[in-house]
Amino acid sequence: MDDLSAEELWEVLNFAVELKRRMKGGDRPPMLAGKVLALLFEKPSLRTRVTFEVGMLQLGGHATYLAPSDVQMGSRESVPDVARNLERWVDGIMTRTFAHSTVEALAEHAGVPVINGLSDLEHPCQVLADLLTIHERVGEVRKVRAAWVGDGNNVCHSLLLGMAKLGAQISVATPKTYGPDSKILARAKEIAKGTSGSITVGTDPQEAVRDAQVVYTDVWVSMGQESERAAKLKAFSGFQINAALLARAAQDVVVLHCLPAHRGEEITDDVLDGPRSAVFDQAENRLHAQKALLAKLL
């Protein structure tokens, strides 16, 4: 997320609004005609794969999907060699991977744009969609009071950076040993100082959501962490987004979740499917935000 300045971030979000409006009106400008995006996956996905494929199609381009078994980065072929091959054939690379270092290596060795579709450190494309959703449902992001409740994970990291760049207020509540990365947190606080934003980190979910206009959570046990499940469920007791917790938030609070959700764990059915939920707006906005990003990059 920190690769975008605040001005560039607004440019992408405003263009996403325009592209969404045009698409709803039946206008799908083929601005990426003849362009090809490689989708390089190490992790399975619903939203990331479909939205990037559909986004390229709607912009007149093409996406080619490379499954984990097709490439086997790091074992069958080195990451730099994968990058050097792909740059000869495609106009951009989107990768959904485990290690953030893989994204960085691809970007270092490929002469075409590389998009982080998810890594263990960040999920910036998700947060582009989140910021677009907040803009639509709440209003000017600069004035928003938001809360993150749960794991200080990759989505939390990108959200901290994105909200700080746009001058929002965000409170984070996690169990003591599951807070956000210290370097990302320090960088986000540094950014917030220059944008009149604010970042608060603690361990009390009830305090974090007090008067919040947006409450956001994610799964407690992410893909690849299945061995930690029992320990995490115990540690996160009391961090569930439910009606009782939301009663402390603003009356018109908007609930976000990047999906997939573990219903009954980090969030209850009545909240996820309730009138305050914007989770499927978020999912749709992955398409529009990523189309704007693709159009700018390619």
Cα dihedral across residues 187, 149, 163, 22: positive or negative: positive
Paired tokens of 198:
């604010």
Residues β-bridged to residue 173:
149, 202
Burial of 62 (0-12, 13-18, 19+ CB in 10 A): middle
Q: How far apart are CA 242 and CA 271, in angstroms?
A: 6
**Residue (of 184, 18, 171, 167) closest to 100 by Cα position:** 184
Active-site entry in 47, 49, 91, 96: 96
Paired tokens of 128:
């582009």
Q: How far apart are CA 262 and CA 269, in angstroms?
A: 10
Catalytic residue list contains 218: yes
Active-site entry in 49, 218, 257, 290: 218
Catalytic residue list contains 21: no
Catalytic residue list contains 135: no
Q: How far apart are CA 13 and CA 185, in angstroms?
A: 23
Q: How far apart are CA 237 and CA 241, in angstroms?
A: 11
Q: Coil, strand or helix: which one is 93?
A: strand
Give yes or no for a contact between 41 and 96, defined as CB atoms under 8 angstroms apart: yes
Q: Coil, strand or helix: which one is 20?
A: helix
Q: What type of residue is 137?
A: R
Q: How many CB atoms lie within 10 A of CB 3?
A: 11
Active-site entry in 49, 58, 120, 126: 126
Paired tokens of 2:
């920190």
Q: What type of residue is 68?
A: P
Catalytic residue list contains 72: no
Give yes or no for a contact between 133 and 160, defined as CB atoms under 8 angstroms apart: no
Catalytic residue list contains 181: no
Active-site entry in 47, 123, 257, 276: 123
Cα dihedral across residues 226, 231, 234, 237: positive or negative: negative
Catalytic residue list contains 187: no
Active-site entry in 125, 258, 276, 282: 258
**Which residues are part of the catalytic machinery?**
96, 123, 126, 218, 258, 286
